[in-house]
Amino acid sequence: MVKRSLKPSAVVRSLAILMAVAGVALTVAFERGSLAQGNEIQQRQDAMSELGDIAKELNDRTKNDSDYDAARVAELAARAHEITGGLGPLFPEGSTSGDSDALPVIWENWDEFVEYATNVHEETGRLAEIARNGASRAEARAQFARVGRNCSGCHDTFRAE
Amino acid sequence: MRLAVRGFAVLLVLVAGAASIPAFWPGLYWSAPRVPENFGPGDPVRGEQVFAIGGCASCHTGEENDAQPLAGGRRLETPFGVFVAPNITPDPETGIGNWSDADFVRALTVGLSPDGRHYYPAFPYTSYTRMTLRDLVDLKAYLDTVPAVRNRTAGHDLDFPYGIRPGLGLWKFLFLDTGRFEPDPARPPELNRGAYLVRGPGHCGECHTPRNFAGAMRAEAYLAGAAEGPEGGRIPNITPHESGIGGWTESELADFLGIGITPDGDFAGAGMAEVIENGPSRLSAADRAAIVNYLRALPPRPFGGN
């Protein structure tokens, strides 16, 4: 038997590499949903993550009188107000692929979902406002707790366990 | 008839006879702590704190936005059927306005109505039985200040055979452990305070402890969480196990009871958000700390006690 060289030509080699890279990219994009939905899932996960960090700091800033900083509370609340004002577009119909915890019931009960988002947007706005206007630590904490109840209210119904 | 069969029949009659006492004459079998003559009037200001930790509003206020406080009507959907919480405003006809302090104490410590009928343990007298007389009388005094609302609530809608109320006599005979909380002299006062709040008025175990086939809490799995809680949802383990609160700091637990925030910046959901709002959030920081320290001192148990 003639020993033929098995080395692929340069063209074939380039094509193989291109296909491998494309395959990986497509898989990653598909898993993250960014191919199907244009990246909303990642954006909202980032938004929620940032809101969680804001919540942690708001908790620390309103627990003790010595750590209370009304200006910082106002700043954090304002940022949360900004984020929560833009949630709707991050939930396009049926965007439940990949590692998203969003439940299909979001779009079945869209009005209720929007109500929670609106409430948390308003309550964070209120927190920013009262902090700017010299609210006491206790007042700020009470308003922060009110914000939190809207977070959990929505999560209960619309987010997977 | 063979002697053995006849003997068994006699035994059956005796047992049935004995069992009928708790069922039909419960007042003979269970006696509530007596309110002494000179006990004095209750303090409604203290009573409001007891009301907070007792969590009365979470069941006795309806779920509608315009529900009148404590006027009842709220439905508790359980594996046994639907319980409807009664009106506990001071309305004399449809609420508890006609109740004496002794009636109130009896209801909360041994689960008997003023006319001697058993209450279902959906009303957690199984925990409230541990409350002090002082707390009970103060709580009654606070409830007397709440606006009276005329609202006759619907009866329970229970599956067969749970609707047979005298059967509760047997249930209580088997499962009810009445009696006031006794502080452990070997433990510091703060730990005893936490134990009292959790085991008594806080009645945390009523949700957080898994139950047996008859719906009684499994003491060996106290606070270890349940796959299916009273209203069907999963209830977390709050013992200091890794599947429970083992990874939480004292501060995180205090913040959770204070405003419902979790260590990752999320907030308590489902029933617990309401519990916190009506309850621990309204207590002193010292009482919250006592609860936290008691929970952290519990033996760690895996979820569900398994």
ipTM for the assembly = 0.81
Chain B nearest CA to A55, separation (Å)? 5
A63 contacts chain B (CB < 8 A): yes
CA B82 – CA B122 distance, rounded (Å):
10
pLDDT bracket for residue A1 (50, 70, 90): low
DSSP letter string, B134-166: HHHHHHHHHHTTSPP----PPPPEE-TTTT-TT
pTM: 0.85
Length of chain A equals 161
| Torsions phi, psi for A30 (to 5 deg) | -65, -45
Contacts of B265 in chain A (CB under 8 A): 51-56, 59
Residue B77: which H helix or E strand, with range? strand B75-78
| Torsions phi, psi for B205 (to 5 deg) | -60, -25
Torsion region of B166: left, alpha or beta (phi above 0 gives left; psi -120 to 50 gives alpha) = alpha
Cβ-contact B153, B70 below 8 angstroms: no
Is the predicted pLDDT of residue B166 greater than 90, yes or no? Answer: no
Across chain B, what does the average pLDDT equal? 93
A98 contacts chain B (CB < 8 A): no
- Amino acid in the structure at residue B61: T
Nearest in space to B15 (alpha carbons), one of B172, B160, B173: B173
Which of B260, B264, B269 is opposite residue A52, by nearest beta carbon?
A: B264
Is the predicted pLDDT of residue A125 greater than 60, yes or no? Answer: yes
Terminus-to-terminus CA distance in chain A, angstroms?
63
Cα B246 off chain centre by: 25
Token reading at A22: 């494309």
Helix (H, G, I), strand (E, B) or coil at B231: coil
B270 contacts chain A (CB < 8 A): yes
**A73-87 residue pLDDT tens:** 999 999 999 999 999
pLDDT bracket for residue A33 (50, 70, 90): very low
CA B209 – CA B238 distance, rounded (Å):
9
Token reading at B32: 């509530």
Mean pLDDT of the region B72-97: 95
Q: How many CA atoms lie within 13 A of B245 on its CB side?
A: 28
Contacts with A, B 221-260, CB within 8 Å = 234, 255, 258-260
Asked if A51 lies within 8 A of B260 by C-beta distance, the reply is no
Which of B265, B270, B277 is opposite residue A53, by nearest beta carbon?
A: B265
B63 Cβ neighbours under 8 A, 6+ residues apart: B74
Q: C-alpha dihedral over A40, A43, A48, A53, to 10 degrees?
A: 180
- The alpha-helical segments, DSSP class H, found in A64-109 are 70-84, 105-108
**B16-61 residue pLDDT tens:** 777 777 777 777 778 888 888 888 899 999 999 999 999 999 999 9
